[in-house]
Amino acid sequence: MKTINLVSIVVLSILLFNCSNKKEANQIENQEVTIAEVDKSLFVRLGGETGISSIVDDILKSHLDNPEIRHVFLPIAENPQRLESFKTHVKQFLSAGTGGGAAYMGKDLPTAHKGLNTSEKEFMAAVDDILGVLAKHNIDEETQKDMLFILYSLKGAVIGL
Ligand code: HEM
């Protein structure tokens, strides 16, 4: 009887040891997946050039639908040359600033926004539009937070000028 108990304890210990080893291995694997996701550049997480291009197109559409800031973007939408230049520059800006290969050929932010006298409320409306578009494009929450952080860090360069 004692021998059977001893055998059971040994078998159980081996099983438990294997189990805890597997759990540790799984944890390490999961950790590696998480680190790999975080390591991906913001550019990749936004879908590269193609993703960014369609995100920027949708952001402009969203601004044009937003009563708070529509008036600011209507003159751009109504002028094909200005529209093309605006879209190209915003796409370049987003690509260059998130780790993509584009070079930004537009004006620096304070110069581009000078004379608009953008208010805090208008800034918030624009940020809301951008986050809404990112969600619509199934951009994960971590990436949305990273974008929010970047947008806020640029606030001083675009409002009240
Ligand atoms: C952090 C937030 C913002 C960023 C990163 C940003 C970025 C840019 C960029 C890269 C351009 C292109 C400049 C060029 O073509 O040389 C631009 C232009 C413009 N932005 Fe913003 N912008 C922001 C917020 C806003 C807000 C809140 C408004 C107004 C509600 C606004 C209105 C405009 C307008 C009207 C232009 C066109 C200026 C022109 O070509 O005359 N932006 N922005």
The two three-digit tokens of residue 86, written as one number: 């605006």
Return the biggest CA–CA distance within the chain: 92
pLDDT at 63: 98
Determine if ligand 1 sits within 6 Å of the CB of residue 93: yes
| Residue, of 1 and 56, whose pLDDT is higher | 56
Which of 109, 111, 124, 128 for a ligand 1 pocket mutation test, highest count of atoms within 8 Å of Cβ?
109
Please count the residues of the chain: 161
> Against a cut of 0.90, is the pTM above it?
no
**Whether the CB of 89 sits within 6 Å of ligand 1:** yes
Q: Tell me, using a 6 A CB cutoff, whether residue 126 lines ligand 1.
A: yes
- In this structure, the residue with its CA closest to atom 8 of ligand 1 is 90
Residue whose pair of structure tokens reads 């997480």 in the numeric block:
45
pLDDT at 17: 44
Bigger pLDDT: 12 vs 124: 124
Check pLDDT > 60 for residue 44.
yes
pLDDT, residue 30, reads 55
The reported pLDDT for the residue numbered 40 is: 87
User: Ligand 1: does its nearest atom lie under 6 Å from the Cβ of 74?
Assistant: no
Q: Is 142 exposed, middle or buried (0-12, 13-18, 19+ CB in 10 A)?
A: exposed
| CA proximity to 85, closest of 62, 107, 100 | 107
pLDDT in tens, 88-140: 999 999 999 999 999 999 999 999 999 999 999 999 999 999 999 999 999 99
- Its ipTM equals 0.98
